[in-house]
Amino acid sequence: MDHYIDLRLRPDPDFPEPMLMGALYSKLHRALCDLDANDIGVSFPQYKVGVKARTLGDHLRLHGGQERLERLMALGWLTGMRDHVSVSDVCEVPADATHLMVTRRQFNTGSPSRAKRYAKRHDVSESEAREIYAEVATKRIELPFVQITSRSTQQRFALFIEHGKPQAVPIAGAFNHYGLSPTATVPWF
């Protein structure tokens, strides 16, 4: 992870920032699937947590080797987004960068379909299952997310993203087709 590319959303009066970030991230997900990439990570330099402040911001950073990032950009995956995004050149990571993990977090949000499945699995009534899940649903999730459709399952879901604590030493590992990893780090600067 010695190179990066910055993608910044341009302000648009017709589309809110979270919607544009969702569209950009969805296109990236499809490109990472097409490339079958497990060596490209992401981070969101303007990431903020908190129920009222949570946002991924307008800045998506791609991390990887120079050749791999150039190959990703040659796919033309930004078609349709060029008017909404400014893209940097492939740049070297600063020597003094720290590192952190950017991971997916999943939450039990208490949806009706989950309660129904719980009722079936545990042989309880649906109303009992809804009561159990009502308590779970009151928890406030403070992490930012994007609405995205999985390329493999075609399911639309909220992808919650968490940035870990910065650390001095990088950890190598594989990334999924969302550019996230529960074990590998990306440079943070």
Catalytic residue (choose from 29, 99, 163, 177):
29
Q: What is the pTM of this model?
A: 0.86
Mean pLDDT of the chain: 92
126-147 pLDDT, tens digit each: 888 888 777 665 567 899 999 9
Containing structural domain, residue 56: 3-107+139-188
State residue 5's pLDDT score.
Answer: 98
Structural domains counted in the chain: 1
Is 177 designated active site?
Answer: no
Query: What are the tokens at 84?
Result: 């909404």
Three-class SS state of 85: strand
Distances (CA, A) of 9 to 16, 86, 163: 10, 6, 20
Task: Specify the pLDDT at position 116.
Answer: 83
pLDDT higher than threshold 70 for residue 92: yes
Domain membership of residue 164 (yes or no) is yes
How large is the average pLDDT for residues 89-109? 93
Asked if the structure places residue 162 within a domain, the reply is: yes
Q: Which residues of 148-180 are buried (b: 16+ CB within 10 A; e: fewer)?
A: beeeeeeeeeebbbbbeeeeeebeeeebbbbbb
Could you tell me which residues are beta bridge partners of residue 172?
none
Tell me, yes or no, whether 157 lies in a domain.
Answer: yes
Interval 67-85: pLDDT, tens: 999 999 999 999 999 999 9
176: left (phi over 0), alpha (psi -120 to 50) or beta: beta
Is residue 89 situated within a structural domain? yes
- Residue 10 belongs to some domain of the structure: yes
| Average pLDDT of span 79-92 | 96
